[in-house]
Chains A and B, each alone.
Chain A
Amino acid sequence: MSLASPALTDSPRTRKGRIPGPPAALLAICAVVDLIVLVPIAITVYDALKGGVPHAAHLLSTRGSWTLIGNTVGVALIATPLCGILGTVEAWLIERTAIPLKAVWSVLLVAPLTMPLFVTSYTWAHLGPLFQGEVGAIGIIVVSYSPLVFLLVSAALRGLDPALEEVALSMGWSPARTFLTVVLPQLWPALLGSMLLVGLDALVEFDAFVALSFQTVSTTIYAQYQTSFSSSGAAVLSTSTILFCIILLAGERLFRGNRNYTRLAQGAQRPAILRFNARTLPIRLGLLIIFAGMGIVLPLATLIYWFTSGSTLAFNLASASLGSLPAATLTSLLLGMGTAAFTVLLAFPVALLITRHPTFLANVMERTVFLAFALPDLVAAIAISSGASAAAPWLYETVPLLIYAYLILYLPLAVVAIRTSLGQIEPRLEEVARTLGSTPLGVIRRIVLPLSRPGLGAAAVLVFAFVLGDLSTTQVLSPPGMTTLGTEFWANSSTVAFAAAAPFALVLALLAGIAAILLMRWFGKRR
C-alpha cells in the first residue's frame, strides 16, 4: 500500500509548484555542516597539489604506489560484497527464522562493530600467520563491518510487509527463491547503503591493518609521516582514496537508481511468519556461532587468556597498568560522549534534508558528508593538525580539535542511522501536525524528534563506540599527556607484555558490549 501512497507520487522531483522544497534555513545549516567536513579534504588536496601536478603524478606512478593502491582497493572490493552477503544472511536468520535467544544473538552479532578494531585485530594477529596478511585483512573487515549491514538490513526487513513473502510462498516458491526474488529487491537500498559505508571504511582502515602487518595506502601514509614528517606524499596518496570514494558514492547512487531509501515502507503490523524447520536449526545456529565466534568470542577469549595466563610477571604487569586505568577510562568516556552529542547534532539536519526534501542538491549535500569518511583517519588528523597549527595555533593539540576530527570522521555513520529512523516516520503524521497549527520547526520538535529518538540514540552509540575504537586520530591530535583506553592499550601492547594491555582491552570490550546492547535496543526495536 505504501508503494501507491500519495506521498510518493507527490515527489518534489516531479512537482512543478514545488512547495515544500527545502527551507532556506535547513539548506544553510547543511551547507555549514558540509563546509566543516570539507576543510580537511581541502587541506589534503591542497597539500597534494602543492608540489605541482607533475610531482603528484610522479609520486603516484611509482611501482610501490600501485601495489599499495592495488592492495587497498582489492581488500575493499572483496570484503564489501562478503560483508553484504554475511550481514544479509544474519539479518534473515534473526528476522525471518525461529532461533532461540534472539536478543542475545543480535547483541553478539552487533558487538564486533562496537568492539575496537585494533583490539580484535591484535588478538587475531597473535593467533598465527593465517590471520595475517591479505586473508586476515579481508577477514577483519568482513567480521567487524558486516554488523553494519546486519543492522540496516534487518531494520529494512522489519519494515517490510510479510504478506508479500506469504503470497510468494503460497504459490509454492521455495523460501530461497522467495527471498531472492521478492525480498531482496526491496532490501536493495538498505543493503547498498550499508555496503557503501563498509567499502569506504575498508578503503581507509588503518589500525587493524597495522596489527595484521598488511600494507595499504593508509599504513604507508603513517610510515611516511613518521619518517619524513612530510605530509605531501601522504596527501598525494590519500587523494587517490578520495577519488575512489567519489567513484563509490556515485556508483552506489547509480546502482540504486530511483529506488529510495529515504522513506522505508511503513508496514509490518504483525511480525513476519517464522519458518520453523527443526532440521535446519543446527545449521542456522552453527552459522550464528561461527559469525559471533570470529567477531567477538575469539577476541574476548584471547583477552581473558592474556589476563589470566598464569605467570606472576604477567599478573604484576597487569596490576601495574590498573593504576592508569581510571583516568584513561574517564577520558575515553568523556571524549566519546562529547563527540557523540556534537555529531548527532550536526547529522540530524543532514538526515532531515535528505529524507524530507530528496532533491538533487540534497543528495549532493548528503554525499559530501561521506567524503570525509574516505579520508584515512590519519590523513584527516594530519590535515587538521597542520591546518590548526598554521591558522589557529591556540587550537593545536586541544580537545576541541580532537573532537572536531572525530566528528567529521564519524558523521556519516550518524547520518545513516538517523536517516533510517527518520524514514520510518509516516509522512502523514507531520502533515497532520501542520494542519493543527504547528510551524515546520514545531513539527520537528513535537513529532520528528520524539519519534526518531531511537535512531538518534543509535547514532550516538555508534559514534561513541567508534571514538573508543579510534587510535590513529587520537595519537596525532590528543593534547600532550592525555591518555585514553586506546592509547594505553597500544602503548602496552607494543611491549612484550600483553598482559599489561589486557585491562584496557577488557574495559574497552565491556563498553563495546554495553554499546552493542544499547544499539540493538534502540535500532533493533521491533515495532
Chain B
Amino acid sequence: MSELRCTGLTKKFGTREVLSSLDLTVPNESIVAIVGPSGSGKTTLLRSILGLVAIDEGTIHLGDRELSNGHSRLVPPHRRTIGYVPQEGALFPHLTVFENVGFGLPRGERKDVTHIDRVLSIVGLNANYRNRKPHELSGGEQRRVALARALAPSPSCVVLDEPFTGLDASLRQTTRTAVAAALRTSHATAVFVTHDQQEAFSLGDYIGILRNGSICQFGPPEDVYREPADPDTAQFLGETNILSGTVTRNHAMTALGKLPVLGSHDDGPAHILIRPEQLHLHGSARPDDSDMQVHGRILSITFFGAHSLISLAVNGIYPKQIIAQHQGHVPWDEGEQVFISLTGRAACYPSPKPAPADPETDDGRTSNDDS
C-alpha cells in the first residue's frame, strides 16, 4: 500500500467548477474519510482518483507513480491498481460471489479457492456464500462482497463511495465494523466519502472536510470536531451553539459564562463555539460553584434514546436558542427554569461581523442523498 497524493485538482463540468485546486494527502495505510454536503464534489474526487474522470488541472500520485495530470490521463483506470467500492456495491449480477471476488485476479488465479475464501473471511463472510448470486444477498452482504472484490487483487489503495448508504441502522453498524476491520487487516490505504459525520468520525483515521470543491480542513476526527476551521464547518459536523462574546487573556466570555479557549487567541470580540455536550443543566443553583450561574427556560426536549437535546431560551441571547445535550432521563418539563454550567474548552473565531445564523436551522444534519 502507498500514500495517495492529490495536488491542485481542478475539474469543471461545463462552467461549473466541481473541484477547485483540491489538495489531499492520504498517508500510507491510513483510512481517510472525506465528508461534505451534497454537491460538494465528493463523487467527482473519487472518480478522478480512479481515473474515471479526467481532471482539468493538478496531479494525482500514488506512491511514486504519477496517475493523472492536468493535460492527460496518464494511467487508465485498469492499470491504476486502485480498488473501488461503489455506492450500493454494484456487484456483477451475472456472476456468483466467488466469481465476483475473483474478477480482478489474474486469469490463472481466478479459481484460487484458498485466496478467495481468505478474502471473503476478511470481510466476515464464510465459504457458504461462494455460489450465491448477488440478488440472493442482503444489502450488507452485498457491500461486504463488493469490498472483498476490491481487496482481492491486493490494490495499493481502496476508495469507497458512500459505503453504508441505504442500510438500516443495525446492519449499518455491523457492516461498518466489518469493513473497518477488513481495511485494517489488509493494511489498506483507503479513502471513503460520506455525508454522514458519525460514519466519518468512527471509521476515519483522518477526516477531510470537502466544501465548494476543496478540502477546507484535514486532521484526526477529534481535532476536527473540537476545533473546526470555521463556524460553518463546526455546524456541518454536529449540533453547535455559536455565540458572540469576547476573548480576554485566553478566556472566552459569553452570555452563558466563561470558558478557557482552545489554542491561543488575540483578545477581542469573537464567535465562540460551544458544543451541546459542554452544557450541563441543573435544577437549582449549586452554592459551591464560584462561576457565574446562568439560567434558562426549556423550550423543547427532543428525545434521542441514550441522550436528549434540550433547547433553551436564555436572557441576553434570546431569540436565538441554546442547545444542550443531556444524558439519560430528563427530569424537567418544557417551560421549566434550569441552571446552566459549562465545561471543557471553547473554539473561538475572531468576529468582524455578528455571529452567524441560528443553530436550530443551521445544524449539521444533512439529510440529502449524495451526488
What is the interface of chain A, defined by CB distance below 8 A to chain B? 1, 4-6, 9-10, 14-19, 426, 428-429, 431-439, 442, 446-447, 450-451
Number of interface residues of B (CB under 8 A): 36
A432-B84, A435-B77 known; A19 and B54 CB under 8 Å? yes
Q: Is A19 in contact with B53, judged by CB distance below 8 angstroms?
A: yes
Query: Contacts of B86 on A, CB cut-off 8 Å?
Result: 428, 431-432
A14-B13, A17-B56, A428-B86 known; A435 and B50 CB under 8 Å? yes
The listed residue (B80, B81, B150, B371) touching A4 by CB distance below 8 A is: B371
A14-B14, A431-B86 known; A450 and B94 CB under 8 Å? yes
Q: Is A446 in contact with B103, judged by CB distance below 8 angstroms?
A: yes
Having A432-B84, A435-B78, A436-B149, one finds 13 other A-B pairs with CB under 8 Å, namely A6-B47, A15-B13, A15-B54, A426-B90, A428-B90, A431-B50, A431-B84, A432-B149, A435-B84, A435-B104, A436-B103, A437-B153, A438-B78
B90: nearest chain-A partner, CB-CB:
A428
Q: Report the Cα distance A438→B13, complex, angstroms.
A: 27
Is B43's beta carbon under 8 Å from chain A?
Answer: yes
A95 CB → nearest B CB, Å: 21
A18: nearest chain-B partner, CB-CB:
B54
Q: Which residues of chain B in 79-105 are interfacial with respect to chain A, using CB atoms and an 8 Å cutoff? A: 79-84, 86-87, 90, 92-94, 103-104
Among B56, B83, B93, B153: residue with most chain A CB under 10 A = B93
Query: Contacts of A14 on B, CB cut-off 8 Å?
Result: 13-14
Is B73's beta carbon under 8 Å from chain A?
Answer: yes
Q: Which residues of chain B in 207-264 are interfacial with respect to chain A, using CB atoms and an 8 Å cutoff? A: none
Is B12's beta carbon under 8 Å from chain A?
Answer: yes
Is B44's beta carbon under 8 Å from chain A?
Answer: yes
Q: Is A439 in contact with B84, judged by CB distance below 8 angstroms?
A: no
B50: nearest chain-A partner, CB-CB:
A435
Q: Which residues of chain B in 27-85 are interfacial with respect to chain A, using CB atoms and an 8 Å cutoff? A: 43-44, 47, 50-56, 73, 76-84
Q: Report the Cα distance A437→B81, complex, angstroms.
A: 7
A17-B56, A18-B54 known; A435 and B371 CB under 8 Å? no
Q: Which residues of chain B in 314-371 are interfacial with respect to chain A, using CB atoms and an 8 Å cutoff? A: 369, 371
What is the interface of chain B, defined by CB distance below 8 A to chain A? 12-14, 43-44, 47, 50-56, 73, 76-84, 86-87, 90, 92-94, 103-104, 149-150, 153, 369, 371
A5-B371, A6-B371, A14-B14 known; A434 and B78 CB under 8 Å? yes
Query: Contacts of B87 on A, CB cut-off 8 Å?
Result: 428
Q: Is A451 in contact with B94, judged by CB distance below 8 angstroms?
A: yes
Q: Report the Cα distance A434→B150, complex, angstroms.
A: 11
A5-B371, A18-B54, A428-B90 known; A436 and B104 CB under 8 Å? yes
Q: Report the Cα distance A6→B55, complex, angstroms.
A: 15
A6-B47, A428-B86, A446-B103 known; A434 and B52 CB under 8 Å? yes
Q: Is B77 in contact with A17, judged by CB distance below 8 angstroms?
A: no
Query: Contacts of A18 on B, CB cut-off 8 Å?
Result: 54
Query: Contacts of B371 on A, CB cut-off 8 Å?
Result: 4-6
Query: Contacts of B43 on A, CB cut-off 8 Å?
Result: 6
Query: Contacts of A431 on B, CB cut-off 8 Å?
Result: 50, 52, 77, 84, 86
B321 CB → nearest A CB, Å: 34
B88 CB → nearest A CB, Å: 8
Query: Contacts of B12 on A, CB cut-off 8 Å?
Result: 16
The listed residue (A426, A432, A435) touching B80 by CB distance below 8 A is: A435
Q: Report the Cα distance A114→B43, complex, angstroms.
A: 46
The listed residue (B44, B53, B55, B78) touching A437 by CB distance below 8 A is: B78
Query: Contacts of B153 on A, CB cut-off 8 Å?
Result: 436-437
B155: nearest chain-A partner, CB-CB:
A435
Query: Contacts of A451 on B, CB cut-off 8 Å?
Result: 93-94
Q: Report the Cα distance A426→B81, complex, angstroms.
A: 22
Among A5, A16, A19: residue with most chain B CB under 10 A = A19
Q: Report the Cα distance A1→B162, complex, angstroms.
A: 15
Q: Is A17 in contact with B103, judged by CB distance below 8 angstroms?
A: no
Query: Contacts of B44 on A, CB cut-off 8 Å?
Result: 6
Supply 5 A–B pairs (Cβ within 8 Å), ascending by A. A4-B371, A10-B13, A17-B55, A435-B84, A436-B103
B103: nearest chain-A partner, CB-CB:
A436
Query: Contacts of A433 on B, CB cut-off 8 Å?
Result: 92, 103
Q: Report the Cα distance A259→B160, complex, angstroms.
A: 31
Q: Is A439 in contact with B90, judged by CB distance below 8 angstroms?
A: no
A416 CB → nearest B CB, Å: 23
B77 CB → nearest A CB, Å: 4
B56 CB → nearest A CB, Å: 6
B14: nearest chain-A partner, CB-CB:
A14
Among A437, A450, A451: residue with most chain B CB under 10 A = A437
A10: nearest chain-B partner, CB-CB:
B53
Q: Report the Cα distance A450→B96, complex, angstroms.
A: 13
State the 3 A-B residue pairs at the shortest beta-carbon distance, nearest first: A436-B104, A17-B54, A435-B84
Q: Report the Cα distance A431→B48, complex, angstroms.
A: 12
Query: Contacts of A426 on B, CB cut-off 8 Å?
Result: 90
